[in-house]
């Protein structure tokens, strides 16, 4: 059985990435990792991450596959230097366009690699995949960024490889949200994905409905809803 891990934020992208990873025919054991790094939405993200696990288990593509409980780590101190508005300690003003935490994904990947290496047993030789929900959007979620990280892992002799299933899926022609909606619909994942959390600036534990994450979520579910309505209109089950 292949063992792999996933950076799991409880968000739409990471939930869909894990769904794609576990719905294949090969038997795998996947361990989701959630990091608290001082983000304003960390409580909502953590609840979503743990809430999604039993729902994702219903989508295992192989009966021998295993989806572990989500492991949670607090690395807030590693981001105390950043003044990004999505962090709790930040004095910067919130903006729907300002969601960047400098080098965030590089640090999260490094911390996940530490977790993976701590779990390795003596004599390990096989590569361990780290599933991430990158969509080739920002500088640290692009295919070239993932490729560069993998080159670093390879050069350092570490048997870890980033796996970017969403980028692979979106390279097949359709626009990103249409392609992802098609994948979600084919796996009957509407109810599952609605349990995810995708807001950077929560208000009383509710989405702000104005940040980029909220906007992306709105577009995705609009595309998914259209696909479901088309199938229903044709007399098929949604």
pLDDT at 236 over 80: no
Q: How many domains does the chain contain in total? A: 1
CA angle in degrees (0–180, nearest 5) for 99-196-107: 45
User: pTM for the complete prediction?
Assistant: 0.91
Neighbouring C-alpha atoms within 13 Å toward the C-beta of 190: 15
Q: Which domain holds residue 51?
A: 2-233
Tokens of 31: 């361990």
Strand ranges in 54-207 using DSSP code E only, listed in sequence order:
66-67, 71-74, 128-131, 160-163
Nearest Cα to Cα of residue 53 among 35, 39, 44, 66: 66
Each residue's pLDDT tens digit, 185-232: 888 899 999 999 999 999 999 999 999 999 999 999 998 888 777 655
Residue 238 inside a domain? The answer is no
Q: What is the CATH number of the domain that holds 61?
A: 3.40.50.620
Residue 165 inside a domain? The answer is yes
Question: Which contacts (CB < 8 Å, 24+ apart) does range 136-140 have?
Answer: 136/167, 136/170, 136/176, 138/100, 140/103, 140/104, 140/105, 140/106
Each residue's pLDDT tens digit, 15-44: 999 999 999 999 999 999 999 999 999 999
């Amino acid at each position: 059985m292949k063992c792999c891990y996933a950076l799991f934020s409880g968000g739409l992208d990471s939930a869909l990435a894990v769904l794609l990873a576990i719905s294949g025919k090969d038997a795998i054991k996947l361990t989701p990792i959630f990091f608290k790094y001082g983000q304003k939405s960390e409580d909502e993200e953590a609840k979503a991450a743990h809430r999604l696990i039993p729902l994702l288990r219903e989508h295992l593509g192989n009966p021998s596959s295993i989806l572990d409980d989500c492991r949670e780590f607090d690395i807030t101190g590693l981001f105390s230097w950043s003044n990004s508005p999505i962090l709790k300690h930040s004095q910067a003003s919130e903006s729907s366009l300002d969601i960047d935490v400098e080098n965030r994904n590089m640090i999260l990947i490094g911390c996940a690699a530490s977790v993976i290496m701590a779990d390795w047993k003596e004599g390990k030789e096989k590569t361990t995949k780290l599933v991430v929900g990158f969509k080739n959007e920002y500088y640290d979620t692009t295919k070239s960024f993932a490729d560069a990280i993998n080159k670093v892992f390879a050069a350092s002799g570490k048997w870890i490889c980033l796996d970017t299933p969403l980028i692979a899926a979106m390279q097949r022609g359709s626009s990103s949200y249409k392609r992802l909606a098609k994948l979600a619909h084919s796996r009957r994942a509407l109810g599952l994905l609605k349990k995810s959390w995708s807001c950077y600036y929560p208000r009383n534990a509710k989405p702000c409905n104005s940040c980029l994450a909220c906007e992306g979520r709105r577009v995705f579910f609009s595309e998914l809803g259209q696909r479901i309505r088309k199938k229903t209109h044709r007399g098929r089950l949604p």
